[in-house]
Structure 1
């Protein structure tokens, strides 16, 4: 007889207690724990053991929540990075706008100063834009956007809101070139506002200074004196600020003094200047007289009219003055 057939049959998956038995046991345990808690008997130690035993299950059960929090954290981090980049770009835009507004505010202040200066001047004035400047430190010139068709002439005074700036030396149809006070070839008749002492202010080139040479040794001039334009020559508006004395010293030999002054005009600052229409310089009148004389010298000789036979020829009448 086969041994395997003689052995008792065992199921592949043995069954344990039924579901009802397990539920009954669980209810009995819970009821006993509740009864012990109500009677005041300590059950903390079993509770702690149970918490320690179930802690891995709690940790595993909390994994989905932790994964959700990690995903939210990563999403929030990406959003913060993107918002930070947007804020940086916005900050750059705002800063550039602020710089532009600051430049416009400074330009408005300069224009208001020019308007106030034009109101102080009694002569006709026109504002001109500075479109170019000479970068040579020993040749200080500027180019303006006003020329001959705007009525600009050589020798015309240039001023800004603070003082005399220079004068026009070259005129073209639509532009002109101005020579600044500090150019070595520029000179302007001035006087000391405190006592009326007459002098000439010459440019020093790159030093951004003016010098008043050949002052009398006993001249009353001191540091801080205001130097204003003189009416001599008729080019510059009289009494307009030119410079302020910075230092006074005697020249070698002791017969003269020389003063160094700082220009009142903001040379090298701003993009506008005022052209002043004042009395034409005497030099222009002399040039006009020389031109008239040259035209008179180039006049054609008198024409001799032919005479009838037997009579002398008669000269044509000389032209009038």
Structure 2
């Protein structure tokens, strides 16, 4: 058989086609094009949605063992926590029962003492629940905005408290919102009473350090770290006895006649979300009695009629 008639081409199994580098470049370019097209045109989004929908039951089935183990562990932990909380609640209930008995006894004793001293009963303070909406936009002040305004009966000067103590005071009222100046604002001032010594003072806000300062206290004043300050009630705005702050630091300087006393507010001015708006004490006071009008000037007594003139001399009778 002549050699010229032989087929010198390799069998189909050994055909290489394009080189490996050419195929790598082609498929890399194709992959890059598809990624760009998918990012810009979201071409594969419908396909992904279909695949996710089809695989969702399988995913849920594969998560069943994990969720079962997690739920079982949570159940055991929750059961132990529930038992511990129940025991703590029982102890707290017993302590509160004793405290309630004491409070009832003290209330009766207080009522008897007030009756003996003829004191006027304490004035009730009306409250309204409110929610803090946002902080005031002024970065140099410490103010928040609540969701109650003049339409709900809020007036300027109303005290605002949270579950721990005094938060601030309403300083601006809008129809559906109000602006509350916090105790740590530079313009905030509140009269206080030291619970331990019953000494009165005036606390000012310190916006720089988010704290308060008890000013104009003598250097030898009986003030200690940890003392609790409450409202004194002498300003006619805050009800007496509300917690205000605790003494954090007392600096008795020799070069000054006054001590530098730093206070930490009892409330949480920066994290409060639900508050109570109180009616100012001055609005609950009975109206001041009006002074009685001056008595009309008594007219001078009428001048007495001049005495009748002496009777005329008797007529002389005819001489006999």
TM-score (norm 1): 0.50
Q: Structure 1 residues 82 and 274 mapped into 2: Cα distance closer, same or farther (>3 Å)?
A: closer
In the TM superposition, what are the counterparts of 1:64-143 in structure 2 within 5 Å? Answer: 83-85=61-63, 122-134=124-136, 138-143=140-145
Tell me the residue number matched to 1:175. 177
Q: Residue 189 of structure 1 is aligned with which of 168, 188, 191?
A: 191
Q: Structure 1 residues 132 and 83 mapped into 2: Cα distance closer, same or farther (>3 Å)?
A: same
Render the CA deviation track for 1:168-204: whole Å, top value 9, x for unaligned: 0100111110000011111111121111211111111
Separation in 2 of the partners of 1:218 and 1:206? Answer: 27
**Aligned alpha-carbon RMSD (Å):** 3.1
Q: Structure 1 residues 83 and 271 mapped into 2: Cα distance closer, same or farther (>3 Å)?
A: same
| 8 Å Cα contact 1:137/1:206 also seen in 2 | no
Query: Could you tell me how far 1:269 is from its partner in structure 2?
Result: 2.1
Tell me the residue number matched to 1:209. 211
| 8 Å Cα contact 1:156/1:235 also seen in 2 | yes
Q: Structure 1 residues 275 and 121 mapped into 2: Cα distance closer, same or farther (>3 Å)?
A: farther
**Secondary structure at 1:215 match in 2:** coil
Bigger share in helix: 1
User: Which segments of 5 or more consecutive residues in structure 1 lack a partner in the other structure?
Assistant: 1-78, 96-119, 286-321
Q: Structure 1 residues 136 and 174 mapped into 2: Cα distance closer, same or farther (>3 Å)?
A: closer
Tell me the residue number matched to 1:247. 249
Separation in 2 of the partners of 1:238 and 1:142? Answer: 24
Q: Structure 1 residues 239 and 89 mapped into 2: Cα distance closer, same or farther (>3 Å)?
A: same
Query: Could you tell me how far 1:251 is from its partner in structure 2?
Result: 4.2
**Secondary structure at 1:216 match in 2:** coil
Query: Could you tell me how far 1:84 is from its partner in structure 2?
Result: 3.2
Q: Structure 1 residues 87 and 148 mapped into 2: Cα distance closer, same or farther (>3 Å)?
A: farther
Aligned length: 178
**Secondary structure at 1:255 match in 2:** coil
User: Which segments of 5 or more consecutive residues in structure 2 lack a partner in the other structure?
Assistant: 1-56, 75-121, 288-320
Further displaced range: 186-195 or 134-143: 134-143
In the TM superposition, what are the counterparts of 1:1-321 in structure 2 within 5 Å? Answer: 83-85=61-63, 122-134=124-136, 138-251=140-253, 253-280=255-282
Q: Structure 1 residues 204 and 84 mapped into 2: Cα distance closer, same or farther (>3 Å)?
A: farther
Render the CA deviation track for 1:252-301: whole Å, top value 9, x for unaligned: 623111211110112222311111113238xxx9xxxxxxxxxxxxxxxx
Which one has a bigger Cα radius of gyration? 1
